[in-house]
Amino acid sequence: MPFTLLTAADSREFYAFYPDNLRELIAPPIVVFLHGSGERGSDPGLPIHGLERVFEQSQIPAIVIFPQCDWAYRAYYGAMEERVFESVQRVAAEYNCDSTRVYLVGYSMGGSSAFWLIARYPDRFAGTVCIAPGITWVGSELPPHLPPESKALFDEMFVAADRPAAIAKQIGTMPIWFLQGTMDEACPIDETRAVVNSMQQLGNGPVVTEYEGMGHDTLTRSLLEDDLFTWLLSRDGRKG
């Protein structure tokens, strides 16, 4: 069974994808998939809905985990950060995974969350795929359950006028591949382009793929992009 339901230390269930050749992999890498806002909740099957065939077809040589964000949160911050790492620990211990090869793949809310996790824990990830991210916080109230000590960084990255530059600074030298539709209304591509431009000014040249005429629904297309996972899994955290 390619997808298996697991339980993390906090008793929350999440799905993991195992490639057919898992037993042949020595110290397999881990890919953490961060879903969009519509898949939040308490049904661990939501984050993989519609993606089963994609991963079964691609058979990437890694364990892919799908920690679910709770409805009470609007991204993977605070307690949801711990949920991510508890899910990583759950599979890492069982399969003797390579701790220097943990990767992020984030879509929409998950793409924004990838920025956040990189900023908070830059040494825990070796590379990132960021699909249709948003960088503008919508609403006048703070994210629910955001720890007070995280407010300053959150404002800098998602509220302030110069947030693209702030995100670029926080990403640092993290290898990252952006994929997004040019007609994305939910998360305007101009904001992603501003982040890319700021990264380039700092000397970090990300990979960028734009889908002409496509809107926000680019997840499946992006995951099937040629060489995407070959590129991602070749990033080595030991090389900085």
- CATH code for the domain of 224: 3.40.50.1820
d(CA 135, CA 117): 14
Question: Within a 13 Å sphere around the CA of 58, how many CA atoms are in the beta-carbon half?
Answer: 23
The C-alpha torsion from 118 through 101 and 80 to 163, rounded to 10°, is 10
Full strand arrangement of the beta sheet holding 30-34: 3-7, 13-17, 63-66, 30-34, 102-107, 127-131, 176-181, 207-211
- pLDDT recorded at residue 240: 43
- pLDDT recorded at residue 1: 55
- pLDDT recorded at residue 11: 82
- pLDDT recorded at residue 180: 98
Query: pTM for the whole thing?
Result: 0.96
- pLDDT recorded at residue 135: 96
Do 232 and 32 meet the contact criterion of CB atoms below 8 Å apart?
Answer: no
Range of the domain at 90: 3-239
Q: 21 is written with which tokens?
A: 């050749």
Quote the number of domains for the chain: 1
The DSSP element (H or E) to which 118 belongs, if any, is helix 109-120
- Which residues in the chain land under pLDDT 70? 1, 238-240
